[in-house]
């Protein structure tokens, strides 16, 4: 294979963290170099919460390859305590994940050029919006099925604990995860240990535009069971806030499976083609 061909292949590597950092170690990354004659920009992908990282890997990888073929350089990173990165999920904090995003952004800025996009899925969209506030350069957002409230995400996750109790996995009179977290204790839900530091910080996260940053593009995509479905009414208030803040918002619902909710292999070709078409549109 030629040198050019090797450079076009996805590159897996571990990105070292400052040994003095609270969450030292290594972060697993997968870089998709831009291909073709066009160089459209750089994309940093921030993954969703807990098991959703695993259930979304296949479709995300397909989209990353499609974006790379269209001229975008795409960097995926496993955050602290997630996937193949250092640490356990119990070690994760919201602050550590923001530091991981900054680490990945620095690497991507040194390795690729062009307009910067932050691509977040589900709770990754929350992290993207908060990380956006720390960036001085013009930045665009690609949001897949975004969660607008960290508290909402936690409540959905805690329902897994309630379901486990209903199936006989817990005692009906035991304290709830919310009560344990309020007491400063970690809780285990669906095989993931959530620390009070992560839960409390995540509960305050909101998908809102930064107050002091010039607006760029926001591509907001929700998945629907049927074609020609309108956007979720609960999203309209959030979309209006981004438009009012001066962002160019493209919001659309695309028919595709809820692949983050299932352990079976799912493909979402309409999501991939629809995202790509919107990204490359002038």
The model's pLDDT over 63-119, given as tens digits with 9 standing for 90+, comes to: 999 999 999 999 999 999 999 999 999 989 999 999 999 999 999 999 999 999 999
| pLDDT higher at 189 or 70 | 70
Alpha-carbon gap, residue 176 to 155, rounded angstroms = 12
- The pLDDT > 90 percentage for the chain reads 69
- 251 SS3 class: strand
Q: What pLDDT does residue 166 have?
A: 41
Q: Is 164 exposed, middle or buried (0-12, 13-18, 19+ CB in 10 A)?
A: middle
Q: What pLDDT does residue 21 have?
A: 74
| pLDDT higher at 171 or 144 | 144
- What is the tens place of the pLDDT at every residue in 191-208? 899 999 999 999 999 999
Question: Is the distance from CB of 216 to CB of 108 less than 8 angstroms?
Answer: no
Q: What pLDDT does residue 28 have?
A: 98
Alpha-carbon gap, residue 121 to 142, rounded angstroms = 8
Q: What pLDDT does residue 7 have?
A: 56
Side-chain half-sphere of 176: how many Cα atoms within 13 Å?
Answer: 11
**What number is the average pLDDT over the span 229-244?**
88
115 CB neighbour count, 10 Å cutoff: 16
Region for residue 228 given its phi and psi (left: phi exceeds 0; alpha: psi -120 to 50; beta: otherwise): left
Q: What is the CA radius of gyration of the chain?
A: 19
User: Which of 46-60, 144-158, 169-183 shows the lowest mean pLDDT across its residues?
Assistant: 169-183
pTM of the predicted model, to two decimals?
0.92
Q: What pLDDT does residue 107 have?
A: 98
**What number is the average pLDDT over the span 210-226?**
89
- The pLDDT > 70 percentage for the chain reads 93
**What number is the average pLDDT over the span 143-165?**
83
Q: What pLDDT does residue 212 have?
A: 74
User: Which of 67-71, 143-147, 157-161 shows the lowest mean pLDDT across its residues?
Assistant: 157-161
Alpha-carbon gap, residue 224 to 272, rounded angstroms = 14
- Joined tokens for residue 133: 């506030």
Q: Which residues pair with 192 in a beta bridge?
A: 189
| pLDDT higher at 174 or 173 | 174
Band (pLDDT 50/70/90 cuts) for residue 172 is: low
Band (pLDDT 50/70/90 cuts) for residue 1 is: very low
- 266 SS3 class: coil
Alpha helices in 117-219 (DSSP H): 123-132, 150-166, 177-182, 196-203
pLDDT over threshold 50, residue 258: yes
Alpha helices in 14-139 (DSSP H): 52-69, 94-111, 123-132
pLDDT over threshold 50, residue 3: no
Q: What pLDDT does residue 161 have?
A: 63
Q: What pLDDT does residue 238 have?
A: 93
The Cα-based distances of 255 to 67, 172, 196, 274 in angstroms read 20, 39, 37, 10
């Amino acid at each position: 294979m030629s040198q050019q061909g090797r450079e076009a292949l996805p590159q897996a590597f571990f990105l070292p963290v400052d040994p003095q950092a609270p969450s030292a170690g290594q972060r697993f990354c997968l870089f998709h170099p831009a291909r073709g004659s066009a160089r459209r920009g750089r994309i940093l992908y921030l993954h969703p919460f807990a098991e959703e990282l695993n259930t979304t890997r296949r479709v995300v990888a397909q989209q990353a390859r499609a974006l790379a073929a269209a001229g975008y350089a795409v960097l995926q990173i496993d955050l602290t305590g997630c996937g193949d990165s250092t640490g356990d999920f119990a070690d994760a904090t919201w602050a550590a994940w923001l530091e991981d995003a900054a680490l990945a952004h620095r690497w991507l800025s040194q390795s690729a050029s062009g307009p910067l996009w932050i691509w977040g899925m589900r709770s990754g969209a929350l992290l993207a919006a908060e990380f956006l506030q720390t960036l001085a350069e013009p930045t665009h957002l690609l949001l897949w099925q975004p969660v607008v409230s960290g508290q909402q995400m936690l409540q959905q996750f805690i329902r897994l604990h309630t379901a486990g109790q209903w199936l006989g996995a817990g005692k009906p009179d035991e304290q709830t995860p919310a009560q344990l977290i309020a007491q400063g204790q970690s809780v285990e839900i669906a095989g993931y240990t959530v620390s009070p530091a992560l839960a409390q910080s995540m509960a305050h996260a909101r998908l809102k535009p930064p107050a002091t940053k010039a607006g760029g593009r926001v591509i907001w995509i929700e998945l629907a069971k049927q074609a020609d479905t309108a956007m979720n009414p609960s999203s309209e208030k959030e979309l209006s806030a981004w438009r009012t803040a001066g962002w160019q918002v493209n919001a659309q619902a695309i028919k595709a499976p809820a692949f983050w909710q299932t352990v079976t292999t799912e493909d979402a070709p309409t999501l991939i083609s629809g995202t790509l078409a919107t990204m490359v549109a002038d």
